[in-house]
Amino acid sequence: MVGRRRTRSVVDGPLGRGRCGLVFEPRNNAASRGLGDCVSGIEIFPPACCYALRMLNDVFDANCAALQQIKDAGGDVDVSQVDPDPARKVLGEWISHQRSAQKRNRLSAERITRLKALGVIWDPQDAAFDANCAALQQIKDAGGDVNVSKYDPDPARKVLGMWLSRQRQAKRKGRLSAERMTRLEALGVWWSKARTALSS
């Protein structure tokens, strides 16, 4: 199995000659094979530290290229930072860092635009909430009961029921926003188990 590989270059800076390098993580998972190596980090060797920004830009460009390859292959660019594939995991961690930087207003407009164009979701939890509300709306439009049980024999409905259960728990603990409560109530979600049972 091929391990990490490094590329290093000699650069001349105001403080003298130093070295900078990129660290590449191999993609060993069959699902990501052929997508190329993922840049997992940079190595800065003083006195070349003044070139760190340029190297970080190289990392950004390389990881955007990796996301573009995933997108072109029909994959989901919102790679998880707990992905079992080491290279994809590193890429997922990098995406998480970009989200954190965006929340702290430390990500440039140009980078935000590039990542958005690739399909990166800034808040996965908000996206999941919207998707589940859309699923409940489909059930409602079909004349069904949106108060899906977490014990439903249908796998997809069971997952939706488990999600609903977590929203009810969040409301009881005061952790569900008023906006989310309003959206769920408008769909017909009941907070009381007793009321839900009576609707069966």
Which residue range forms the structural domain that includes residue 136? 124-198
Which of 118, 148, 164 delimits the end of a domain? 118
Q: How many domains does the chain have?
A: 2
Q: What is the pLDDT along the chain (200 residues), one digit of tens a residue?
A: 456 565 555 444 444 444 555 555 555 554 444 445 555 555 545 544 445 556 667 788 888 999 999 999 999 998 888 989 888 898 999 999 999 999 999 889 999 999 999 999 998 888 899 999 999 999 999 999 999 999 999 999 999 999 999 999 999 999 999 999 999 999 999 998 644 444 44
State how far the Cα of 148 lies from the Cα of 151, in Å rounded to an integer.
9
Strand partners, 162: none
State how far the Cα of 170 lies from the Cα of 97, in Å rounded to an integer.
26
Cα end-to-end distance, the chain, whole Å: 56
Residues 101 and 10 in one domain: yes
Residues 28 and 78 in one domain: yes
Residues 102 and 150 in one domain: no
Residues 95 and 161 in one domain: no
Residues 182 and 134 in one domain: yes
Tell me the two tokens of residue 87: 């290279």
Residues 15 and 87 in one domain: yes
